[in-house]
Amino acid sequence: MEGPLVTFSDKTMTCRDCGQEFIFSVGEQEFYQLRGLQNEPRRCPDCRNARRTSGPDSRSSRELHEVVCSNCGQMAQVPFVPNGSRPVYCSDCFRTARTGVGANSRY
């Protein structure tokens, strides 16, 4: 049993940042639907990219903090200030803890 068939067509949208028109293509609409995204984009692709690569939320501008991994003891860098209330892991130990794989999967 399948849900209703949805057909898409290209939509002309206006960017909320620069005011330029851009096309919200059929392919992008299908991508949004597959990912369960309910809100249409409000920015053109150029403004979306500019917003991703600048500002305080940008991954490239994050301040990293040196820590000692609570599991293996190696030095690691994390994008937050540890407050000591929870263990902090290096990326390898964190990945192992998330997947629950490995001998030390006590997380």
Q: What is the pLDDT of residues 45-83, one digit of tens each?
A: 999 998 888 765 555 567 888 999 999 999 998 888 889
Residues 49 and 16 in one domain: yes
Distance between CA 51 and CA 63 in Å, rounded?
18
Pick left, alpha or beta for residue 39 (phi over 0 → left; psi -120 to 50 → alpha; otherwise beta).
beta
Q: Is residue 107 part of a domain?
A: no
Q: pLDDT tens digits, residue range 9-52?
A: 999 999 999 999 999 999 999 999 999 999 999 999 999 998 88
Q: Residues 78, 46: one domain?
A: no
pLDDT at position 4: 64
- Evaluate whether residue 83 is within a structural domain: yes
Q: Copy the structure tokens of residue 97.
A: 């803890």
Q: Which domain holds residue 36?
A: 11-53
Residue 86 lies in a domain: yes
Residue 1 placed within a domain: no
Has residue 6 got a pLDDT over 70? yes
Residues 43 and 73 grouped into a single domain: no
Q: How many CB atoms lie within 10 A of CB 99?
A: 9
User: 49 φ, ψ to 5°?
Assistant: -65, -40
Give the Cα separation of 23 and 96 in Å (integer): 42
User: Looking at residue 106, what is its pLDDT?
Assistant: 47
Number of domains observed in the structure of the chain: 2
pTM reported for the whole predicted model: 0.47
Same domain, 40 and 67: no
